[in-house]
Amino acid sequence: MATTRDRDPEGRPRQARPRDALGRPLPYGQVGVEPVSEEPLPPYETVAYARELLDEGRPFSAHEVLEARWKDGPEEERPLWQGLAQLCVGITHLARGNTAGGLRLLDRGSAAVEGYAGTGGPTYGLDLEAVLACAREHADGADGTGSG
């Protein structure tokens, strides 16, 4: 028996189920967090909105905002946005209890951000060293080597 996919008004597949703060689907009819737009924002707005979402305990939504920028931004900036999105997904996995997956994504995201930092490209107000230190803190807390 085939299942019918949720679709947006243009007919594209879209998940209509509500989601919790960590992006997990909830049963239809329950109240979840407000979804974020799939439309990319300008770089500074992307950074500000992703920070706001992280402050609200919504790393999965922050990842979605960063991913939209990554897929729409200039090729030379993609490692920055992809790395930041991966860091947010890593934090999401850790919060969901998937330590191995979270650590793997924090490692990939950190490598991408570190590589981008070496290019001298724009950082849009981000202190990439602080971003990397935060990722290390999450990883250390998850693997038991630090205070988290």
Q: Which domains does the chain have, with CATH numbers?
A: 43-143 (1.10.3450.10)
pLDDT recorded at residue 96 = 95
For residues 100 and 66, give the distance between their C-alpha atoms in angstroms, rounded to a whole number. Answer: 22
What is the model's pTM? 0.85
Instruction: Give me the tens of pLDDT residue by residue for the chain, a chain 148 residues long.
Output: 455 656 666 766 556 788 998 988 988 889 999 999 889 999 999 999 999 999 999 999 999 999 999 999 999 999 999 999 999 999 999 999 999 999 999 999 999 999 999 999 999 999 999 999 999 999 998 876 544 4
- CA nearest 126: which of 28, 51, 24? 51
The answer to whether 113 touches 85, Cβ cutoff 8 Å, is no
pLDDT at 141: 86
pLDDT of residue 5: 59
Cα–Cα dist 136/87, whole Å:
10
- Residue 143: half-sphere exposure toward Cβ, Cα within 13 Å: 14
Per-residue confidence (pLDDT) for residue 125, from 0 to 100: 96
**Residues 139/70/54/130 CA torsion (nearest 10 deg):** 50
Return the ∠ at Cα 136 (arms to 75 and 129), rounded to 5°. 55
